[in-house]
Amino acid sequence: MNIALIAHDKKKQTMINFTLAYKHVLEKHHLFATGTTGKLISEETGLSIHRFLSGPFGGDQQIGAMIANNDMDMVIFFRDPLTAQPHEPDVSALVRLCDVHQIPLATNLSSAEIFIHGLEQGSLDWRKIIKEKKGRK
């Protein structure tokens, strides 16, 4: 499955800790991330990650394009709800795309852990079925 990993600045350490804890699950999937988050995760975990631009420079939109094309299966986006984000319209657009295209979206550690356990148990295999019917991998 294709999984996007995104984290606002104050949530990057939480993302690193999450990916370290669930490396055994994540390493079985194709990982994508916005620039800085991807760099930090890769350095700390050794996971292979396709890095897009940083969020404020279009990385959120690049991931959004994958969602719109049904090429993203899950988004884990650790948002910082207490800090104003200069690119908030991009963040809102990404969340909206996940809702429109039925892409599972975790916005905090608790929901991300539920998703990872579901992924590990095969509860998200419905995404594979949808892609196979549309002739995608």
* Domain map (residue ranges) of the chain: 2-67+84-133
Question: 44-68: per-residue pLDDT in tens?
Answer: 999 999 999 998 888 999 999 999 9
3-state secondary structure of 113: helix
- Euclidean distance between CA atoms 91 and 133, whole angstroms: 30
In this structure, whether the domain defined by 2-67+84-133 belongs to CATH 3.40.50.1380 is answered with: yes
Helix count and strand count (H, E) for the chain: 7, 5
Q: Which residues are catalytic?
A: 60
Model confidence pLDDT, tens digit, residues 95-131: 999 999 999 999 999 999 999 999 999 888 877 777 7
16 neighbors 109 (Cβ within 8 angstroms)? no
The percent of residues above 90 in pLDDT, for the chain, comes to: 74
Tell the residue number behind the tokens 């050794």, with chain if given: 46
Report the share of the chain in percent with pLDDT over 70.
Answer: 96
How many angstroms separate the CA atoms of 51 and 35, rounded?
5
